[in-house]
A and B are shown apart, each in its own frame.
Chain A
């Protein structure tokens, strides 16, 4: 097995088994993990405690039985599966759970949390472009820090958070580079493999992840660049799962050359700004977030942002991965569609449902789309 295959297979294994990743981390450090629900949270504060921040983004093909007693049927499938898993006790080993409030379902999720782990809920500011936003966010993050200190019995110093920001910023930079390098080698970094490399970062010590991805990039760069005969796309949406969906892309010769997915590039698109006060730096990062359905932006730049991604990466089209019942994404879609049409960018909308077993309709859409291109 080549070095590339070895690293890809290790990251794939981690992406598919977060519990093992958490147990390995515990065995190595003696410390546990803190769950982070979508979409944005100041993970660096958790990292500064020595605990592992671990992403909670639901699970594919999880049969929903009990979740509907606590959530309306029109809650998105990520939240349905998180609810089901928490009711089954899956998250009870977590030392704490941090929940942000960017959508109606998440807003109510803290009070509905049925797991045993303590919950820390916070809210992002809406008017992000004012300095008052930073003041408010510092207050929220201070509250998270104090709650974590109480729950975990640790003291979190400014130096530790600043050091965590450095680790995270390094990981963000490496991930942006990985995304660009992966686009050069679509025959090697298939849609499934690209997703696994990015997803694994949710379940790993970021320093360790950075090391592995950097090694992967070095190995990839030694490979010859072979012209790609298929179609290149940019993905947008909340997430592009399950793997079977990404395999359909591969089956029809589609490569993912960039993305605007909340679970993927939106997590590492920009670095936390420089500064001395770590909580203020993290607060400023919320102002950096742009082109996201969960962050208010009066200029509505997301469509143009995606069109620019298409141009920069020489992509043939955009695939909108619409999370079923995700209101913020659904509200953005008509605006995106108009922007794509104006810019003459080919686009396809597919519905993402973590619980779906049958992908035949998506197969038809993807095949038709490729034929159309």
Chain B
């Protein structure tokens, strides 16, 4: 038996396929999200790796911003529930989750059984999200995957606004024109993202373990900045970009085994 979880985000599409023993047998990530070819390409790749088709999937659960756009899903479940389920499966000691995706950030509190007991999401604003980092990487002419490395060489954290992406962008341009090292600017950008995420996380009560998921968790600079702000260790979920899709696949597994 196979089940599939599809996470159609705003910036990327992720697929996880589980077998009857809840093992991940295939996964894929495409860096384009809802309304694009991303979901179908991610599906084709994940299924192609193990020579299966959608018909071989006993249940399919979709999550993410574009969860209602995929008609073949048996069920749509919110990304809050899916990230919680996916991360708790990977890190059973998780009690606080910080998830930063392409266009939103979430802080989730879990109970001892991994059930969501409270959650907070960012307001309608790109500041503190993956999109914020994308905008900044373009201005700095540095690939987004290199930002963590630059951050590790910073000698100082410069101040970058966390209230508005456009204003923050102009601040970054101003720092560049003043010859502030890119390393220090990037550390400031990461601190700005961290301040937004931590603002949400503080509201949950911050019970350990604190675990990060979502694409931005791949950026060690942001993780360090969050850990510094919270004064707590932050665990990064294995393969953090697919935790939502994994949660969706686990819900699909539960659906498939309903009696």
A residues within 8 Å of B by Cβ? Answer: 324, 337, 341, 347, 349, 351, 353, 356, 360-361, 364-365, 367-368, 371-372
Tell me if B79 counts as interface (CB < 8 A to partner A).
Answer: yes
Q: Are A364 and B81 in contact (CB under 8 A)?
A: no
Tell me if B70 counts as interface (CB < 8 A to partner A).
Answer: no
For residue A349, which residues in chain B have a CB less than 8 angstroms away from its CB? 120
Contacts of B74-119 to chain A: CB distance below 8 A: 76-81, 104, 115-119
* Given known A-B contacts A337-B203, A368-B116, A372-B116, A361 and B78 have beta carbons under 8 A apart: no
- Please count the residue pairs between chain A and chain B whose beta carbons lie under 8 angstroms apart in the complex: 41
Q: Are A368 and B78 in contact (CB under 8 A)?
A: yes
Tell me if B65 counts as interface (CB < 8 A to partner A).
Answer: yes
Tell me if B141 counts as interface (CB < 8 A to partner A).
Answer: no
Bound-complex Cα distance A347 to B120 (A)? 10
Q: Are B124 and A361 in contact (CB under 8 A)?
A: yes
Q: Are B78 and A364 in contact (CB under 8 A)?
A: yes
Q: Are B124 and A372 in contact (CB under 8 A)?
A: no
Q: Which of B78, B120, B203 contacts A367 (CB 8 A)?
A: B78
Tell me if B144 counts as interface (CB < 8 A to partner A).
Answer: no
B30 to chain A, nearest CB (A): 21
Bound-complex Cα distance A363 to B13 (A)? 20
For residue B21, which residues in chain A have a CB less than 8 angstroms away from its CB? none
A84 to chain B, nearest CB (A): 20
Bound-complex Cα distance A92 to B212 (A)? 55
Bound-complex Cα distance A364 to B120 (A)? 11
Q: Are A368 and B104 in contact (CB under 8 A)?
A: no
A372 to chain B, nearest CB (A): 4
Among A347, A351, A360, A364, residue most surrounded by chain B Cβ atoms (within 10 Å): A364
Contacts of B218-257 to chain A: CB distance below 8 A: none
For residue A341, which residues in chain B have a CB less than 8 angstroms away from its CB? 118
Bound-complex Cα distance A367 to B80 (A)? 9
Bound-complex Cα distance A53 to B104 (A)? 43
Q: List 5 A-B contacts (CB under 8 A).
A: A337-B203, A364-B78, A368-B80, A368-B116, A372-B115
Bound-complex Cα distance A337 to B205 (A)? 12
For residue A368, which residues in chain B have a CB less than 8 angstroms away from its CB? 78-81, 116, 119
B residues within 8 Å of A by Cβ? Answer: 65, 76-81, 104, 115-121, 123-124, 203
* Given known A-B contacts A371-B77, A371-B78, A364 and B121 have beta carbons under 8 A apart: yes
B140 to chain A, nearest CB (A): 28
Bound-complex Cα distance A367 to B76 (A)? 10
Q: Are A365 and B117 in contact (CB under 8 A)?
A: no
For residue A351, which residues in chain B have a CB less than 8 angstroms away from its CB? 123-124
A294 to chain B, nearest CB (A): 22
For residue A371, which residues in chain B have a CB less than 8 angstroms away from its CB? 77-78, 80-81, 116
Bound-complex Cα distance A341 to B115 (A)? 16
Bound-complex Cα distance A199 to B123 (A)? 27
B125 to chain A, nearest CB (A): 10
Q: Which residue of the partner chain B has the closest CB to A373?
A: B116
For residue A353, which residues in chain B have a CB less than 8 angstroms away from its CB? 124
For residue A337, which residues in chain B have a CB less than 8 angstroms away from its CB? 203
Bound-complex Cα distance A345 to B76 (A)? 26
Q: Are A361 and B116 in contact (CB under 8 A)?
A: no
Q: Which residue of the partner chain A has the closest CB to B123?
A: A351
Q: Are A372 and B81 in contact (CB under 8 A)?
A: yes
Bound-complex Cα distance A347 to B109 (A)? 13
For residue B79, which residues in chain A have a CB less than 8 angstroms away from its CB? 364, 368
Among B65, B118, B203, residue most surrounded by chain A Cβ atoms (within 10 Å): B118
Q: Which residue of the partner chain A has the closest CB to B106?
A: A368
Q: Are B119 and A372 in contact (CB under 8 A)?
A: yes
Q: Which residue of the partner chain A has the closest CB to B80?
A: A368
Q: Are B124 and A364 in contact (CB under 8 A)?
A: no
B179 to chain A, nearest CB (A): 33
Bound-complex Cα distance A365 to B65 (A)? 11
Given A353-B124, A368-B78, 17 new contacts (CB under 8 A): A324-B123, A337-B203, A347-B118, A349-B120, A356-B124, A361-B104, A364-B79, A364-B80, A367-B76, A367-B78, A368-B81, A371-B77, A371-B80, A372-B116, A372-B117, A372-B118, A372-B119
* Nearest 4 pairs of A and B residues by beta carbon: A368-B80, A368-B78, A367-B78, A372-B116
A76 to chain B, nearest CB (A): 14
B75 to chain A, nearest CB (A): 11
For residue B80, which residues in chain A have a CB less than 8 angstroms away from its CB? 364-365, 368, 371-372
For residue A347, which residues in chain B have a CB less than 8 angstroms away from its CB? 118
B51 to chain A, nearest CB (A): 34
Bound-complex Cα distance A351 to B121 (A)? 11
B67 to chain A, nearest CB (A): 9
Bound-complex Cα distance A134 to B185 (A)? 58
Q: Which residue of the partner chain B has the closest CB to A356?
A: B124
Bound-complex Cα distance A106 to B29 (A)? 50
